[in-house]
Structure 1
């Protein structure tokens, strides 16, 4: 068995030599996964999705559209703040009274990452500000369906505009698919990534839900009265300032460029190794640390818990890896 394994490594290594970028390999193939692992040892690739999931599904997931220069927000000023932050930090451990910090949402077959990431961070920050006494689960459905100028719903939106919507209009409550929690729960069903199960197969096309300004039948508060607004929206792009904001007030959101190797991330500190660009993606950053001497951000994805490290991943910090530090967005 060991001899066979060594033979396979030599075989695929030779193949990888001829295709050093991995561009011509299928992004979900065993060959591509092995190629990633042979090229580096900082992170491990493995199977997150069934080999037959269509590539159009992944392009649909990448719904983070670029911000326009006119929408760039004011930087929150940390220039004169000399307070030290720890070498490693995990918001889940500091604010144990806020269980949503452990949540991994599932955007389904919809390019709603820009809305899901924003409301996930909003939910955490409201809890943190209230010292764990206020657990208001912000609705991704409300932002996805009712923010008219955010973009095109499941066909993509702008992260900054999702936050701006929370300031202008406010966002109602709403749990995950089938939860019947809050005013507007998420309508789009999660899908099965790797194994057959009760969820539909990944790849099925989902339309943007219609904006419904009426709460669930059993919810006792009206849509209008359920809205919660953020007073101010900020941005940051300096590593030290980003760390201080997370340390003081909780998770922030970011958009970055996704390449096909990211689809196969399982653990370790991610950086782009091989494969083609797929699109823009929005996520929530909730901490940082150092692994194997490499600095990283701790990030929550929105592809359910059977992707990556129980839905979370680490990505190189301080080098603007895949553009993740270009514009951090959050609100107070």
Structure 2
């Protein structure tokens, strides 16, 4: 399939024209016909992404794990490998907070605790706690952050539990209301103005019967994998999902509905963005990564997206991070 290079915001008069164009040339993926808004506004991206790159951040290498002699299957889905883990099927909504970096990492933390405990421990690790309280690791809350900040906070300080908005589950549930991320649905549209980062409060919500300190979960160690597809696959098969940080987001990504995404319309780099990778597969002879986004289930394929695998599409293979959980001694 040919890649057509076009300046997105200057070529198309509205998003409907973009959708029609993509669907007329694309052989792998379909653009959504329920995207709203006559023009993509660059201000929207501060509530959709806000992952920050920092060349001075140290990324520890992943533990050595040989892929020799290990057969990596053509397809793998963590939801099928570990069906007992409910968090693997959960799509979060970062609301109007630019917290993809925190939402993606805490989702993986939740998954990996469940996997390591064989389903016996299923806490939902609080993205709210990370957004508000990891300031000493150069986090900027809803104004942006990096996955290493979340992992460092997890390993060194511990993170409390907290479910989705208004769930009243865990110590600190997410405080930002779900909203439509420029999709058509029953929720209000996300504001382009964004929201202020809540102050760090070291206590659990009223009615939760565990103290803030006792509720914390810790990581054993965190690490990174750069540009090594097989090592990433082996990591996911063995320990669970990982996080892609620094994914380059272009305008056409927002229009994704189904199929295997690859960038078709060139334009401004709107990223970077962070998401969870939980598997891979092949569709019509094309390899893909299976990815969970944080824009609720109204976006994409019920919140998920398949992204072209094997060519570092939009830098999806470049910066992979994850962590091993510290399972409590009482387990």
Calculate the TM-score normalised by the size of structure 1.
0.90
Q: Secondary structure at the match of 1:195?
A: coil
Other-structure match for 1:257: 248
Three-state SS of the structure 1 residue aligned to 2:10 is coil
Q: Give the CA deviation at 1:54.
A: 4.5
Structure 1 residue 318 corresponds to structure 2 residue 310? yes
Going from structure 1 to structure 2, the CA distance change for 1:196 and 1:290 (only over 3 Å counts) comes to closer
CA gap of 1:48–1:281, structure 2 versus 1, over 3 A, is farther
- Once the two structures are TM-superposed, the CA of residue 183 in structure 1 deviates from its matched residue by 0.2
Answering whether residue 36 of structure 2 is matched by residue 45 of structure 1, we say no
CA contact (8 A) 2:29 2:261 kept: yes
Aligned counterparts of 2:302 and 2:179: Cα–Cα separation in 1: 15
State which of 239, 247, 269 in structure 1 corresponds to 2:237. Answer: 247
User: Which residue, out of 156, 160, 171, partners 1:172?
Assistant: 160
Map of 2:265 onto structure 1: 274
Residues 182-219 of structure 1: per-residue CA shift (max 9 Å, x gap): 0000011111343363x332125311111111101111
Counterparts of 1:43 and 1:59, CA distance in 2:
26
Tell me the equivalent position of 1:9. none
Provide the residue aligned with 1:127 in structure 2. 114
Structure 2 unaligned segments of length 5 or more: list them: 325-331
1:245 positional shift:
0.6
Aligned to 2:286: 294
- 1:118-152 Cα deviation digits (max 9, x unpaired): 00000001001111111100000001110012421
**Partners of 1:128 and 1:39 in 2: CA distance:** 41
Structure 1's 48 and 245: CA in aligned 2 closer, same or farther, altered over 3 A? farther
Which of 200, 203, 208 is the equivalent residue of 2:197? 208
- The structure-2 alpha-carbon separation of the partners of 1:48 and 1:206, relative to structure 1 and needing over 3 Å to count, comes to farther
Residues 21-32 of structure 1 aligned to structure 2 (within 5 Å):
21-25=7-11, 29-32=15-18
Partner of residue 108 from structure 1, selected from 88, 91, 95: 95
Listed one character per residue, the Cα deviations across residues 254-274 of structure 1 (whole Å, up to 9, x for unaligned) are 120100000000011111110
Match of 1:188 in 2: 176
Instruction: State the number of aligned residues.
Output: 314
Give yes or no for the alignment of 1:144 onto 2:144: no
- Which position in structure 2 is the counterpart of 1:36? 22
- Identify which range, 124-133 or 77-86, moves more after superposition: 77-86
Q: CA deviation at 1:104?
A: 0.3
Larger radius of gyration: 1
Q: Does 1:87 align with 2:74?
A: yes
Q: Which deviations, in whole Å up to 9, do the C-alpha atoms of 1:155-187 show, x marking residues without a partner? A: 110111111110010110000111111000001
Q: Which residues of structure 1 form unaligned runs of 5+?
A: 1-16
Give the structure 2 partner of residue 229 of structure 1.
Answer: 218
Give the C-alpha shift of residue 90 in structure 1: 0.4
1:99 paired to 2:86:
yes
How far off its partner does 1:28 sit?
Answer: 5.7
Aligned equivalents of 1:188 and 1:316: distance in 2?
31
- 2-structure distance, mates of 1:292, 1:46: 20
Higher helix proportion: 1
